Each structure stands twice: as structure tokens, then as C-alpha cells.
Amino acid sequence: MRVSSSPLFSALPLLQPLACPLLNCGCRLLLANGSTVLYRRFSTDRSALQSVIGQNSVEVLGQSYPRDDFTNVTPKILAMVGRNLHNQSHHPLWLIKERIKAHFYSAYIRRSGTPLFSVYDNLNPVVTVEQNFDSLLIPPGHPSRKRGDNYYLNRTMMLRAHTSAHQSELVKSGLDAFLLAGDVYRRDEIDTSHYPVFHQMEGVRLFSNHELFSKVQNGEELSLFECGGQRTPQKQETHTLEAVKLVEFDLKDTLTRLITHLFGEDLEIRWSDCYFPFTHPSFEMEVRFQGNWMEVLGCGVMEQELLNSAGAGNKLGWAFGLGLERLAMVLYSIPDIRLFWSQDERFFKQFRVQDIHQPICFQPLSKFPPLHNDISFWLPESREGQESFTENDFYELVRSIGGEMVEKVSLVDDFIHPKFLSSKPEYC
């Protein structure tokens, strides 16, 4: 393995584990059927709650979770739970979130004069495995569930891998148009554009039969659903083609307006078909920025099974998700994702602006060249039915020791001695 350390933070104090300062509180939402759903939220009142890994339990934001053979969350990751960079005033992620929120508030208004979209940006990042995967139709055995790619507190609880983990609950509460922002956690490689904690923002919009067809000539004769239909690349089996096409148009128009609001009217945009377990059809948006095509978000028509299970079976909807770091790195010319976690005043003062829409170009903190170190080691043999080593295991080890000084880790060679062909390779 080649480990590259960068002096990017050489003039900065190393990031220290912080006490998680947020108080848990309960928020109970009334459902249409008269029942309630309890959401765990935390306030921005900074108190002394800490996240701790004990011998038999893991404590996160004041709640204790029993450890088991699936527990793999690390002290370094727990130290970041509750930081909520997207809610820190004038942090670049906060600026991006506020710009997106301001756009939706001003562009989509109800007849009553209130914003159509509500915003949720402080939901607890600890979720159940069912919330994170099953509620989104991600089947057992799917690669995205792997222990090597996620942070598990135990076999039933985890740090959310995407903000979509809350989607079903918010729809169950009766919401039909909302934005959701938060920190998400995934074990990942080490380089300037990947980090095990990052931030997402997603949107959901649901339509009733009247809402979707009210502006269509003879719309009262049209329907969201059909019986005996077939799933095709263009639609799901229960949806009518005309309904899907209208929802797809509204989705793409909404996102085109958002991205041009952020990047400018002259931006070149293209759409491509893709696959997600929770939407169909599904799309990715790419924009041409500084001469290259860059993927900025994924979206699609929500799987009707999700809406049925959330009590919104009479509606059809769309959903999208985007990464706040990716947008901020491009808009503000931030070269390294680790900088978002800096506590250096030289970083923050560049983003203290009067107007959230003011153009900002980040000025680097250090121009010293990086240092390279090559490391080689032998791997243990795998136990039967269990993988003994994944690359993410090594990345976690490097992060726990090198912290933010390590910019990138890359595999440059592997070797299996001819006498031990059944053994694991040596990584260099």
C-alpha cells in the first residue's frame, strides 16, 4: 500500500474527538389514521453527551446499544457523530444547504402562501437496519449491506448510510413534499474526494390524481394507476404511462431549475438512465463543469411498493438525492474533502459572507509538496465462510493512526508466493 501524507493540515491543530453536544428529544407526529410515529431528534443545545465504545455496549448521543459480532464502528467515527457540519452557520456545507432550501422555498409555494416543501435537517443518524435497507427494498444479501462497507453498532442498528433511511417514516407521517439533509456514514477508500462521513440532501414529492392531472386537458379522464399492466424500461407495472411521463417531466424540470440556480443559466446538462432499487425509472444528472462531465445527483420515480407500505398508496411520486460535499467542492473550488472537517479559522473566515449566494473561491492553506510512504504486509488466511480482510479494514486502521494527515492510500501491487497459492497475497 502507498500512503501519501499531505501538509494540508500541517499548520492546523489535529482534529480532536469532540464530545457529542446534542440533546436527544422526542418528536411525535400524528398520522392520517390517528396513530403516531416517534422521531428521535436532537437539539442544537451543546451539552456534554459523548459517544463511547465500551466493552459490552456502544453509546451514541446518549443512547446505549449492545455490542455483538457485527459491531465495527470506531472511536474516530463516533467522534464525528453530532458535529452536524451542515447546520454550522457559514460552514460551506451549510451555505450549500441554505441555498438549496432558499430556492425551494421561493420557487414552490402553496396557494396559502406557505412553502410547499418542508425541511428536516436534524434527524438522528442512528437507524435500524430495516430503515436503512428493507424500507428501501434493498434485499438481503445485497452488496450494499456488507459489514465491510457500513458502520454497524450491532446486527440491528447502524449509522445511516444514506438519508433515504428516513424516507418511509416521513411519508408515513403524511408529508407529500419535503427536503431532508444529514450526515451519512460509509466505510470508504482514502483519497481527496472520499471520506467515511459525508452529507446528503434529498427531496421527495408526491402527487394525487387531481394534483398531477389538474392542468391537463381532459385530466379528469386520466389515472395514476392501471390494472394488469407490465413493467417496462419506461414505467412500473401499476403506473399508467401518461402519469409516469408527467412525473418524470416535473422531476427533471425541478432539478434542472435547482442546478442552474446553483451553477448558472449557461450550464450544460445531460441525463442518463440508471438503476436504483427504490426508483423506476431512474436517472442520473451530469453537468459539464470546467470542461468535464460530472455526476451531481441520482433520482427517479419512487417504487410504488414503498408508497403502499408507507400508507400513500393512492399517490405517485419522485425522489432525488445529492451530495453536499461534491457540490461545495465544485462551487467553492475546495480541493480536498478533509477540509470540511477543519477547525482552522483561516478556513472558516473565507465563508463568512453577508449573502449566501455570494461567489466564493477557496484559497489553499498550504502549498508544501506531499510525502509518500510505501508499506507492505502479509495477510492472514480467511476463515471458512468469513473474509478476514477487506481494503476498508486497512483504511480504518490508517485513519485511526494517521488522522487527517493522510491524503490518499492506494494499492500498487499484490503478490502470492508460488509455494502458497492458497494463501492470501502480500499487499505492497
Q: Do 181 and 226 sit in the same domain of this protein?
A: yes
Q: How far apart are CA 271 and CA 282, in angstroms?
A: 10
Q: Do 338 and 383 sit in the same domain of this protein?
A: no
For 268, 399, 408, the CA distances from 377, given in Å and listed in that order, are 47, 17, 18
Whether residue 281 is preceded by a cis peptide bond, meaning omega within 30 degrees of 0, is: yes
**What's the distance, CA 223 to chain centroid?**
34
Does residue 137 form part of some domain? no
Q: Do 339 and 396 sit in the same domain of this protein?
A: no
Q: Do 275 and 392 sit in the same domain of this protein?
A: no
**Structural domain that includes position 260:** 82-125+160-349
Q: Do 209 and 327 sit in the same domain of this protein?
A: yes
Q: Do 398 and 279 sit in the same domain of this protein?
A: no
Residue 286 is placed in which grid cell?
A: 451530469
> CATH number of the domain that 172 lies in?
3.30.930.10
Residue 70 is placed in which grid cell?
A: 457485527
> CATH number of the domain that 407 lies in?
3.30.70.380
Residue at which a domain ends, from 307, 331, 349? 349
Q: Do 294 and 401 sit in the same domain of this protein?
A: no
Does residue 384 form part of some domain? yes
Q: Do 207 and 264 sit in the same domain of this protein?
A: yes
**Nearest by Cα to 43 from 21, 59, 65, 15:** 21
Does residue 96 form part of some domain? yes
Task: List per-residue pLDDT tens for the chain, 428 residues long.
Answer: 555 555 454 333 333 333 333 333 444 444 434 444 444 444 444 334 667 888 899 999 999 999 999 999 999 999 999 999 999 999 999 999 999 999 999 999 999 999 999 999 999 999 999 999 999 999 998 999 999 999 999 999 999 999 999 999 999 999 999 999 999 999 988 788 889 999 999 999 999 999 999 989 888 889 999 999 999 999 999 999 999 999 999 999 999 999 999 988 888 899 999 999 999 999 999 988 767 788 889 999 999 999 999 999 999 999 999 999 989 998 999 988 989 998 888 898 999 999 999 999 998 876 555 677 788 877 777 666 666 677 777 777 777 777 666 767 877 777 777 776 655 555 54
Q: Do 340 and 382 sit in the same domain of this protein?
A: no
**Nearest by Cα to 8 from 351, 341, 397:** 341
Does residue 106 form part of some domain? yes
Does residue 14 form part of some domain? no
Residue 156 is placed in which grid cell?
A: 440491528
Does residue 91 form part of some domain? yes
Does residue 360 form part of some domain? no
Q: Do 184 and 306 sit in the same domain of this protein?
A: yes
Which run of H or of E encompasses 22? Answer: strand 22-30
Q: How much is the CA Rg of the chain, to the nearest whole Å? A: 23
Q: Do 178 and 326 sit in the same domain of this protein?
A: yes
Q: Do 267 and 381 sit in the same domain of this protein?
A: no
Q: How many domains does the structure of the chain reveal?
A: 2
Residue 418 is placed in which grid cell?
A: 508460488
Does residue 94 form part of some domain? yes
